[in-house]
Amino acid sequence: MRRNSGFTLVEVLVALLLGAIGLLGTLAVQQAVIGASKSANDAAVALRLASQKLEEFSTVLTTGDPANVFPLPNVDQFRAPVAIANAVGNTSWSAPAYLNVEGITATTPSAAFRWTRRWRVVNLGCAQPYVISVTVTYATDTGSPKTVRLDMERRKSWC
């Protein structure tokens, strides 16, 4: 007996099944790429916000009078509209600032203000530099926190 040309229903169903599996695999890969892109974007924003704060410190003048060491051993300070230097050996962090992607601050966190920035300036003492540290923390899509930290040394011209 001679077979008629064409496909059977079983062959068509198997082909549709294989096509659907391939399409689902492509969608899964696309979801992973989109998630990685979001994560990289959040990390880039965090790095930019940390760099922004370090640049602010680069514009602040350091002042000090090495001859005036009594009664305060820590007379050299970072001066801005507000004094921001910590005492020698003090490692406390600033209060958290909640930021959005543009670097605008808010008093409370929200969906738009989800990056938290903290900083500290540590004076290591006479003939030692200031160490300026900035951390930016944000939550990933899974809810786990990620932190970007940048440190910079600022040398003194006295002591």
- pLDDT number for residue 159: 59
What domain range is 38 assigned to? Answer: 9-154
Beta bridge partners of 97: 117
Q: Is residue 85 part of a domain?
A: yes
- pLDDT number for residue 86: 43
- pLDDT range class, residue 98, cuts 50, 70, 90: very high
- pLDDT range class, residue 18, cuts 50, 70, 90: very high
Q: Is residue 78 part of a domain?
A: yes
Beta bridge partners of 119: 134
Separation of alpha carbons 88 and 124, rounded Å: 6
Q: Is residue 147 part of a domain?
A: yes
Quick check: helix, strand or coil at residue 14? Answer: helix
Nearest alpha carbon to residue 65 among 142, 135, 126, 145: 126
> Total structural domains in the chain?
1
